[in-house]
Amino acid sequence: MQLVQLGKSANKRSVAKQRRKILFIEPYPENNVYRMAPTERQALWFPKLSLPSLAAYTPAHWEIQILDESVDQVDFNAQADLVGISAMTCYAPRAYEIARRFRARGITVVLGGVHPSYMPDEAAQYADSVVIGEAEDLWPKLLQDFEEGKLQKRYRMESFPAMDGYRQTRIELLNQDAYMTGQCVMTTRGCHFECEFCSVSPFNGKTTRRRPVPEVVAEVQRIKEWRRSKIVDKMLKGPIFERFKTSLRFFSGIEDGTIFAFVDDLHNSNRTYCKELWTALKALDIKWGAQCTLFLGDEPDMVKLAAESGCVSMFVGMESIFAESIDETNKPFNRVEQYERQIKCFHDNGIMLNPGVIFGFDHDDESVFEKTVEFLIQNNMELAYFNILTPLPGTPLFDRMNAEGRILHHEWEKYDGKHVVFQPKRISQEALQEGFFWANHQFFSHNSILRRLFYTRQRLVARWAMNLAFRSIVRRTAPKGSLSPLSQIIQNLQAKLPTYETENLIPNALNSLREKVQEVSGQIDRFLQIRAHKGESFRELRVNLEGTLDRLNAKELKKRILQATERAKIDIILNFEHLQHATPAAFSTLADPQFIKRVASATNVKFMNLKKSFQQAVDPALLALEVGE
């Protein structure tokens, strides 16, 4: 009797451990216009690590296949016991289609990733089970439940997975030759910043978890040795053309087994950790890129260490060149006035930059596109990744815009950063979409590429190949786009004009300048900065004056206002709040009756904060044009 019971137990263990197959799928619609050609992907792209990470947490008796639809086609007749799909918001419809087709064959489907985590009720309509949150700690339990026939409808993360002892990802299951580099490593997770548009801190936590440096170094060393052996095999075996192509990529440095991508959302989250990691990487003789904050450029010693450890490229979340937009998105650590110096610090150390830029913030008007592209070209930014502001589910931006009734639809496939899915504040939907197209074509034009790349010869071949790949994608996928006529009007209004006359200066009362003018005359701003942007009403231009207004630059200001009013029937409001000083002659120049008559015949020109700023020192004719907030 005892032997029979032992036999039954052994049989149960055998059944529980029988060979099974799981098919992991990273969805990407075949008909997506932005789908990269193989050569473009090999120049620009690297794979996501979510599915190779789960593969490392899958028991050994499971056979694993990973399909990245940006590279591979899904065989819907393939045999599998379980299908696992990781879905971003813009690929959710495709993920649901894949799930539906496999479930129609009776195959169990599990959905996870960012979108199902934030929209679990929606995802549950298409899957047998939904994983909510990071999955590493949940995955072994889910597989055990599946094998025992008691799969739950939902698995919810209770705490973030620890990074100590984190299993090395199964990148060998990916098609390494399909990407710029498949040598991807994760060193940290989470982000202690809370940018309004970003889902990282809500999904991965508002603190940063870090893997022990020795574990990261061991993984990098293992991957480097494995990948180099594969490349050498390809150089020595197979068709002559493939051997030649591999050799060319190897000796040009495009793919030599030493190029790594650290796929962290905030690689430089901790200075002490980075210092330890980058010091350790020196001995490995690799080249690497990551995502970091632009203000790392405030620490030249750290940027130098990064370069010495092999850093050749950084993706930086620049977002906008306008301080008002940066403030709006809860990203105060981005300081626009420091951008040029920070960029130069990276470039001085041979590190190329790929800034993420977003159009469509509430402060943005028609002028944002031209100004942004001009700034990027002037500062020799090697690449740029343009996006349209997108309120993704799970983000504070989504919640805010949803509450304001500004979200246009939930067609998730258009939530890809390339379509307008919300109602902008200071710009029309059409102008935002057209400006996005225009910026891409302008930045990746031949003239722009030549201007940006030849400031240095470092890694020129790789940088040239990446720009040409981006240019190819832009030309294939995006109409040329156009700028609104109002864009040029705003551009022409803006200027930084010198101040020559500094006698009898009147201080701005709003600035609380209580000292006598002669006591601070050496500290005054000897220029007039004219900054223009469209108001929220869509019917007015706000023109902020900063610095010092004298007779000569007031004359130029009048000229620019007249040109603007003649070209556009739009109200203009001059704001004196931020002006530091003005001369009596400047006010007399603005009070010219002919000037007031000409602008009045075309549109309304009003003054704001004039009386508060300069009290009784101005001509009554000007005060008649005063308007309140």
Domain 15-156 in CATH 3.40.50.280: yes
Both structure tokens of 390: 């997108």
User: In whole angstroms, what is the distance from residue 569 CA to residue 548 CA?
Assistant: 28
Both structure tokens of 206: 């508002």
Give me the amino acid identity at 402.
N
Provide the 8-state DSSP code for 183. Answer: -
Q: Residue 464: CA atoms inside 13 Å, Cβ hemisphere, count?
A: 10
Which residues neighbour 87 within 8 Å (Cβ) at sequence distance 6 or greater? Answer: 27, 95, 111, 112, 113, 114, 115, 116, 123
**Are residues 85 and 112 in contact, defined by beta-carbon separation less than 8 angstroms?**
yes
Both structure tokens of 215: 């574990």
Cβ burial of 38 (10 Å; 0-12, 13-18, 19+) is exposed
Q: How confident is the model at residue 628 (pLDDT cuts 50, 70, 90)?
A: low
On the question of pLDDT at 20 being above 80, the answer is yes
CA–CA distances in Å: residue 580 to residues 401, 524, 559: 37, 8, 22
User: In whole angstroms, what is the distance from residue 602 CA to residue 613 CA?
Assistant: 27
Q: How confident is the model at residue 277 (pLDDT cuts 50, 70, 90)?
A: very high
User: In whole angstroms, what is the distance from residue 23 CA to residue 81 CA?
Assistant: 8
**Higher model confidence: residue 28 or residue 524?**
28
- CA 276-279-285 angle, 5° bins: 140
Strand-strand pairing, 311-319 and 287-292 = parallel
On the question of pLDDT at 523 being above 70, the answer is no
User: In whole angstroms, what is the distance from residue 566 CA to residue 12 CA?
Assistant: 87
**Are residues 345 and 416 in contact, defined by beta-carbon separation less than 8 angstroms?**
no
User: In whole angstroms, what is the distance from residue 460 CA to residue 284 CA?
Assistant: 23
Backbone φ/ψ region at 405: left (φ over 0), alpha (ψ -120 to 50), beta: left
On the question of pLDDT at 138 being above 80, the answer is yes
Q: Please provide the DSSP assignment of 447-509 as one string.
A: HHHHHHHTT--TTHHHHHHHHHHHHHHHHHHS------HHHHHHHHH-EEEE----TT-EE-G
Q: Which of 477, 476, 478, 466 is nearest to 39 (CA)?
A: 466
On the question of pLDDT at 271 being above 50, the answer is yes
Ordered by start, the domain boundaries in the chain are 15-156, 486-623
On the question of pLDDT at 519 being above 70, the answer is no
Q: Please provide the DSSP assignment of 320-334 as one string.
A: -S-HHHHHHTT-TT-
Strand-strand pairing, 579-582 and 506-507 = antiparallel
Query: Would the pTM of this model clear 0.85, i.e. be above it?
Result: yes
| pLDDT tens-place string over residues 409-431 | 999 999 999 999 999 999 999 99
Give me the amino acid identity at 359.
F
The residues pairing with 261 across neighbouring beta strands, listed in sequence order, are: 184, 289
What is the H or E stretch that residue 188 is in?
A: strand 188-189
Q: Helices (H) and strands (E) in the chain — how many of each?
A: 26, 21
Q: Determine the pLDDT at residue 616.
A: 66
Phi, psi at 83, each rounded to 5°: -120, 125
Q: How confident is the model at residue 15 (pLDDT cuts 50, 70, 90)?
A: very low
On the question of pLDDT at 590 being above 80, the answer is yes
Both structure tokens of 469: 């790949």
User: In whole angstroms, what is the distance from residue 205 CA to residue 203 CA?
Assistant: 6
On the question of pLDDT at 11 being above 70, the answer is no
Give domain 486-623's CATH architecture: 2-Layer Sandwich (3.30)
Cβ burial of 226 (10 Å; 0-12, 13-18, 19+) is middle
| pLDDT tens-place string over residues 540-570 | 888 999 999 999 999 999 999 888 888 877 8
Q: Determine the pLDDT at residue 124.
A: 98
Cβ burial of 154 (10 Å; 0-12, 13-18, 19+) is middle
| pLDDT tens-place string over residues 371-423 | 999 999 999 999 999 999 999 999 999 999 999 999 999 999 999 999 999 99
User: In whole angstroms, what is the distance from residue 395 CA to residue 203 CA?
Assistant: 9
Q: Determine the pLDDT at residue 253.
A: 64
Helices 485-493 and 551-567 cross at an angle (nearest 10°) of: 170
Give me the amino acid identity at 311.
C
Q: What share of the chain is helix, strand, coil (3-state, %, to 5)?
A: 45, 15, 40
On the question of pLDDT at 515 being above 60, the answer is no
On the question of pLDDT at 278 being above 90, the answer is yes
What is the H or E stretch that residue 620 is in?
A: helix 620-623
Q: Please provide the DSSP assignment of 45-65 as one string.
A: ----SHHHHHHHTS-TTEEEE
On the question of pLDDT at 12 being above 70, the answer is no
**Are residues 161 and 136 in contact, defined by beta-carbon separation less than 8 angstroms?**
yes
Mean pLDDT of all residues belonging to the chain:
89
Both structure tokens of 102: 């496999």
Both structure tokens of 381: 């930014």
